[in-house]
Amino acid sequence: MASGAEGSLDKSDVVIVGGGMVGVALACALAPSGLSIRILESREGSPQALIDALPALAEQGFDPRVSALTCASQQFLTHVGAWPNMQASRVCPYTDMDVWDGRGTGAIQFSAAELHEPCLGHIVENRVTLAALYSVMLESENIRFDAGVKIESVSPPDQQGKRTIRLAGAQSLETALLVGADGAQSRIRALTGMGATEWDYGHHAIVTTIETEKPHRFTCWQRFTEDGPLALLPLADPSERKMSIVWSTSPAHARELMALEDEAFCAELGHAFEYRLGEVRACDTRFLHPLRQRHAQRYVQSGLALVGDAAHTIHPLAGQGVNLGLLDAAALAEVLLDARARGESPGDERVLRRYQRMRRAANLQTAAAMEGFRRLFDDLPAPVRLLRSGGMSLVNRMAPVKQHLMLMAMGLRGDVPRLARRGLS
């Protein structure tokens, strides 16, 4: 594998713009096909540098960016060879999930034991996942990673569907398939005129790592407050008292919370969480993220595909964002590998439409469900809140319904891409 952006750039079968988890996972899944793959990343820094720094970073603390990876995501990461490295670093399985209505009496408890499963999923630091994927990528001779790359323009497709990418410094690169995996503010989506529908959730999310008085018991906790959902996610800490939080609230309230000293913030957090795990004893640096929903009107054109946040972003209340992106990568890899076996071009729009059919409707359905769920917990009249709490309690007593919801959320039921299905070797 070569790296660096010096010298002339030649032709590649697939160019992936974005060296994050979704883009690199896609490259690793495609590597066995023999396709020549190029990853273009705007940020500086080599993949090996992150791998080398990971032990020291772990000693310093936890990455504030974590993901609640489903069983389907775990299966896909296992398929590409990254999961063993992730386990060797640190992952935290969670066996239970407690969700309750902060303005009512409704509550639902989910447990892996009800499904005879070892866990419901894993909480993993994003840098752990990315470093593991980088390790796989570096072993692949047909993947090249270029860091610090700025894309100036993307040509329309030629008669064969090929695109020419012009980079800063008058360099150009031709590819049969350009994949936008460059996040919510996707430059590829903008440069190619791929429109997206978006709106502001009216929420900002505060993210940090905290330490609680009581152990987390490998449980994910979520309270729906009057301002928005508050989630506490267990981390792989020997004391079982380290947790990652995602506190979604109104922009004004978020700014107030960000302005507090750590001790005062911990007190506010403990109160908002109803002291389910006792006092909040400490918190790391806090980060604030505005929340918007986006969905590309199309995922594909001739010689072009969008995956992950470049195609869609949703509210983090159910932790499905990165899982949807990894399923996109699994689905696109499946389609391209099958096309390769049939001798079809990876940029053929007829090929790419198969990926769009597999993922766009499913992602829209998830986005609609998350939006409906969020609206359900808005500041509603008392009679509606009463019905909401009653409905949650009813579902909690209906074992078959709960089991179905859990299996769907875990990616063990439904139309899951082949590379993310359980049982695939």
CA distance 333 to 355: 9
379 inside domain: yes
Distance, C-alpha 217 to centroid of its chain: 24
Q: Are strands 219-224 and 92-94 parallel, antiparallel or unpaired?
A: unpaired
Contact 18, 181 (CB under 8 A): yes
Is residue 400 included in any domain, yes or no?
Answer: no
Burial status of residue 18 (CB atoms within 10 A of its CB: 0-12, 13-18, 19 or more): buried
- For 304-317, letters b (16+ CB in 10 Å) and e give bbbbbbbbbbbbbb
In 3D space, the residue among 359, 307, 320, 25 whose CA is nearest the CA of residue 184 turns out to be: 307
**Can you tell me the distance from the alpha carbon of 389 to that of 164, in angstroms, rounded to the nearest whole number?**
55
Q: How many distinct structural domains can be found in the chain?
A: 1
Integer angstrom CA distances of residue 110 from 121, 248, 272, 396, 397: 12, 22, 21, 8, 11
For residue 425, the model assigns a pLDDT of 43
Whether 219 maps to a domain, the answer reads: no
**In degrees, to the nearest 5, what angle opens at C-alpha 246 toward C-alphas 387 and 321?**
85
Strand partners, 219: 96
Please give the residue range of the domain that contains residue 376. 12-94+120-198+293-385+411-420
Residue 239's pLDDT is 94
Instruction: Name the residue among 94, 86, 1 with its Cα closest to residue 39.
Output: 1
How many angstroms separate the CA atoms of 161 and 175, rounded?
A: 9
Closest-CA residue to 179 (of 360, 311, 82, 80)? 311
| 421 vs 417: CA distance, rounded Å | 7
Give me the torsion for CA of 79, 85, 88, 93, rounded to 10°. -50
The answer as to whether 309 is a domain residue is yes
CA pair distance 401, 395, nearest whole angstrom? 7
Q: Write down the pTM of the prediction.
A: 0.92
Both tokens assigned to 230: 């508050």
pLDDT in tens, the chain (425 residues): 444 444 454 899 999 999 999 999 999 999 999 999 999 999 999 999 999 999 999 999 999 999 999 999 999 999 999 999 999 999 999 999 998 886 767 888 999 999 999 999 999 999 999 999 999 999 999 999 999 999 999 999 998 899 999 999 878 999 999 999 999 999 999 999 998 988 877 889 999 999 999 999 999 999 988 788 899 999 999 999 999 999 999 999 999 999 999 999 999 999 999 999 999 999 999 999 998 888 999 999 999 999 999 999 887 765 677 999 999 999 999 999 999 999 999 999 999 999 999 999 888 877 766 665 555 556 555 565 566 666 766 777 777 878 888 888 888 888 899 999 987 54
| Residues 395 and 401: beta-carbon distance below 8 Å | yes
**Residue 414 CB-half CA count within 13 A:** 21
Phi, psi (degrees; rounded to nearest 5) at 225: -90, 180
pLDDT at 5 (0 to 100): 42
DSSP-derived letter for residue 278 is B
Percent of residues in the chain assigned helix, strand, coil, to nearest 5: 40, 30, 30
Most distant pair of Cα atoms in the chain: their distance: 67
Task: Tell me, yes or no, whether 355 lies in a domain.
Answer: yes
pLDDT at 317: 62
Q: Residue 96 corresponds to which amino acid?
A: D
Instruction: Report d(CA 41, CA 21) in Å as an integer.
Output: 12
Do the strands 219-224 and 287-296 form a parallel or antiparallel pair, or are they unpaired?
Answer: unpaired
How many other CB atoms sit within 10 Å of the CB of residue 403? Answer: 14
Asked if residue 189 lies in contact with residue 310, where contact means CB atoms within 8 angstroms, the answer is yes
CATH number of the domain where residue 83 is located: 3.50.50.60
* pLDDT (0 to 100) of residue 6: 44
Contact 310, 151 (CB under 8 A): no
C-alpha closest to that of 99 among 231, 223, 232, 272:
223
Q: Is residue 133 classed exposed, middle or buried when 0-12, 13-18 and 19+ CB atoms within 10 A define those classes?
A: buried
Sorted by sequence, the CB contacts under 8 Å of residue 132 that are 6+ apart come out as 77, 82, 83, 85, 86, 89
CB of 83 closer than 8 Å to CB of 21: no
Per the CB < 8 A criterion, the answer to whether 331 and 355 are in contact is yes
Q: Which residue has the tokens 């978006």?
A: 198
The Cα 422–Cα 299 span in angstroms is 26
Q: What number of residues does the chain have? A: 425
Q: Are 336 and 346 within 8 A, CB to CB?
A: yes
